[in-house]
Structure 1
Amino acid sequence: MKANALRRGMNLWPPLLFAGIRIRHISDDFRAVDVELRERFYNKNYVGCHFGGSLFAMTDPFWMLMVMRNLDRSYTVWDKSAEIEFLRPGRGTVSASFRLSEDMLDDIRANTAEEDARYLRTFPVDIVNTDGDPVARVTKTLHIRRKPDTRNRIGG
């Protein structure tokens, strides 16, 4: 599936749509994703800030999708864990920008090259307000491993 088609489809996916989350951009090479969350009456908490679950949801699928799309089919990629640190009240429109570099991919390949190697790789992303101030920091940990039938291949 092409990046723009995936973006359009995911913008209609109920967990994102009903939280008010909008994917603004997915690059053609799946190495850059920009997401935003506008403040609405239905995504604010009791004290008038963005609901923490919505902030967390706006970061949920992207690191895994980006890594999967940039490694070949010989890899298994799963979300292992996630952590959110709230830094300041989130009000107005907030956004998150995900960037996957070649160095990150090289690190994954190097750490999964040996037979039966399992690699837990963390990926941080900041959620920022319109002034660029961090509202929350989310760290996702992915479990990455070569599929059993491809582990002995070189360059796979």
Structure 2
Amino acid sequence: MSVYRKIAEIGTKFMSKASLFKHGFNLSPMYRRSTGRISHVSDDLLNISIKVPISYKNKNYVNSIFGGSMFSAVDPIPMVQLMNLLGDDYVVWDKSAVIRFKRPAKEDLYADFQYTTEELENIRKAINDQNEIEITKHVELKNKNRTVIFCEVKKVLYISDKEYFKEKRKRSKK
């Protein structure tokens, strides 16, 4: 179990999962370095918003936000969000990502991450039927009004039944 999972396990005894998600990410060294900050987490964890403020910490040679900062601010959210939504009976891994820069970002950026209850039901049903699946989540980094897209990220997530995953790993080691 990672240090972050241990903190989450203990932390939920003192604060809501949503509050812990927000403050845990914003205080963790791995996420702070991205320069992104989680600004909102819904009580049910289905909706998460982030802000990537432009600053001297993430400006590149041409005074726009460094692409690595954009990607690293987005990268962990869909996987960790889904892990928390599905619970401990599932394995969730990042499988791949594609980032496409649309225009230089010379202002603060914002992104919204969403899962629906229907989407979660479909994932559980597919895992029940197939044991493992892949899904693709799309996220866009936009301006404050959410009218201009600066960057698109497509993340492929692997999801599996935990017991199936353990057996699969045992078989692959033989």
- More helix by percentage: 2
Distance in 1 separating the partners of 2:44 and 2:82: 11
Q: Which residue of 1 aligns with 2:7?
A: none
How many pairs were matched up? 149
Distance in 1 separating the partners of 2:52 and 2:149: 14
Specify the code of the residue in structure 2 equivalent to 1:126: E
Does residue 125 in structure 1 map to residue 139 in structure 2? yes
Distance in 1 separating the partners of 2:164 and 2:57: 47
Q: Which residue of 2 aligns with 1:74?
A: 89
Q: Which runs of 4+ in 1 moved over 6 A?
A: none
Shift of 1:4: 0.7
- Please, which moves more after superposition, 30-39 or 97-106? 97-106
TM-score, structure 1 as length reference: 0.88
Cα RMSD, aligned residues only: 1.7
Instruction: Map residues 2-151 of structure 1 onto 2, 5 A cutoff.
Output: 2-114=17-129, 117-132=131-146, 133-148=148-163
Give CA deviations for 1:94-125 in whole Å, capped at 9, x if unaligned. 0101111112112212221125x220100001
CA contact (8 A) 2:132 2:159 kept: yes
TM-score, structure 2 as length reference: 0.79
- More strand by percentage: 1
Aligned residues: percent identity? 34
Unaligned runs of 5+ in 2: 1-11, 166-174
Shift of 1:21: 1.3
Shift of 1:149: 6.5
- Please, which moves more after superposition, 93-102 or 14-23? 14-23
Unaligned runs of 5+ in 1: 151-156
Distance in 2 separating the partners of 1:6 and 1:66: 9
Distance in 2 separating the partners of 1:91 and 1:61: 23
